[in-house]
Amino acid sequence: MRRRLINSTLAVVLVVIAVFGVSLVIVETRTISNSAQESVDSEALRLISVVESRLLGAERITPDVLSEQVDPSRYARVEIPGRAPIEVGERPTDSVLRSTETGEDGEKVTVEESRSAVTREVGRTLLIIGAVALLAIVSAVLLAVRQANRLTSPLTDLAETAERLGSGDPRPRHKRYGVAELDRVADVLDASAERIARMLTAERRLAADASHQLRTPLTALSMRIEEISATDDPDTVKEEANIALTQVERLTDVVERLLTNSRDPRTGSAVFFDLDEVVKQQIEEWRPAYRSAGRAVVCSGKHGLRAVGTPGAVAQVLAALIENSLMHGGGTVALRTRVTGNQAVIEVTDEGPGVPADLGARIFERTISGRNSTGIGLAVARDLAEADGGRLELLQQQPPVFALFLSRVAPSHEEAERPVR
């Protein structure tokens, strides 16, 4: 493309120079020839005037007198009736410019000039025109190269940007080139890069959330299957199988919620549900893991509370808090339910060292963790709580007290009457 731009620009300049240059040469040649002829005519007219004035004054007309009136490069011949012709200068032998003037008494003056002088003048003019044309061509080449670089360099940058987008590097360059069309393409590529970056971020976040939220139900399901495989009691097998089926349903709910939140994180299915059932379910699910760690998980507080939310999401929030206490806390973990205003509150606390002071304000940010963990558990838990209109807060750092606030006001009559499995 760069070569085509240079060639096209140079072709245009050459055509312009050819058209105007030839015209200028023709005009200048005619102008120089006409000017030279007019100069010869003017000199012949002046010379006849001198001859007539001297004849009237009865003065002698000699070659010396005439030579003072004639250009040294020209030839002049004066013919006076009854006298011998008078010649001044050397008569040219090649093509000449000639002018003849006749006086009132028959005197005749002829002035001649060689065309070689005109040819030399035309040659100098052609040389100047050629130099100007050459300068124009050189300038056109330099301008074409500069313009080609100005256009091809942005196109190369845009091609590299598109290639980076295709290779998975969605960083926008925010580089502009001062050309409206190219800047428009750059705007579109940057906008595409930002959209791709958001999509990749959402996909990575979904993958991280899925791996984190599916880990706990899968671990619990694995523990139930191990219990089934380790016993021969039919009643125990049946009980553990029922619990495993419940956990499979929870696992399915987690997957569906992850997919729903990946499309619209504000989408929720808040209903009235029994808070005691969710708390009891989580305690039963986590008790084996705490027993293996030599610790305990208990519940206390106000019973018979009903709250507005998604039971599966609330269970996932509590599971994240209980797991966080298992990994980072110590001693007994206590779940306490209470009422404040029109909200039901579930507090999760343990007897561990608590949340470090430097992490208190950032504990719910992604990638923030007090130990070597993913750092997304609490962030996901807060997102789940907010999706149903609740909120998750850190009320106290030492000992740690996390609180899940849920509304006790029905979102609508239909939702209030909707049964909960």
Residues paired with 271 in a beta bridge:
309
322/282 Cα distance (integer angstroms): 8
User: Is 10 inside any structural domain?
Assistant: yes
User: Is 50 inside any structural domain?
Assistant: yes
User: Is 158 inside any structural domain?
Assistant: no
- Read off φ and ψ for residue 103, nearest 5 degrees: -85, 180
User: Is 329 inside any structural domain?
Assistant: yes
Structural domain of residue 63, as residue ranges? 2-139
The three-state DSSP-derived secondary structure of 242-306 is HHHHHHHHHHHHHHHHHHHHHHCCCCCCCEEEEHHHHHHHHHHHHHHHHHHCCCCEEEEECCCCE
Show the tokens assigned to 416.
């209030």
Q: How many domains, the chain?
A: 2
- Do β-strands 391-396 and 401-407 pair in parallel, antiparallel, or remain unpaired? antiparallel
Among candidate residues 116, 139, 162, the one where a domain is terminated: 139
117/123 Cα distance (integer angstroms): 10
User: Is 202 inside any structural domain?
Assistant: no
Among candidate residues 139, 164, 197, the one where a domain is terminated: 139
Among candidate residues 139, 170, 186, the one where a domain is terminated: 139
User: Is 261 inside any structural domain?
Assistant: no
User: Is 169 inside any structural domain?
Assistant: no
**Is residue 273 domain-shared with residue 134, that is, in the same domain?**
no
227/81 Cα distance (integer angstroms): 152
User: Is 112 inside any structural domain?
Assistant: yes
Q: What does each of the 421 residues of the chain score in pLDDT, given as a tens digit? A: 667 777 787 888 888 888 888 888 888 888 888 888 888 888 888 888 888 787 766 667 777 777 777 888 888 888 888 788 888 888 888 888 888 888 877 888 888 888 888 888 888 888 998 898 889 888 888 888 887 777 777 777 778 878 877 777 777 777 787 778 778 888 888 888 888 777 777 676 666 666 666 666 677 677 778 778 877 788 877 877 877 777 777 777 767 766 665 544 444 567 889 999 999 988 888 888 888 889 999 999 999 999 998 888 888 889 889 988 988 889 999 999 999 989 999 999 999 888 887 776 678 887 665 555 545 678 888 888 888 789 999 998 888 999 999 998 865 544 444 444 4
pTM of the model: 0.47
User: Residue 67's domain is classified under what CATH number?
Assistant: 3.30.450.250
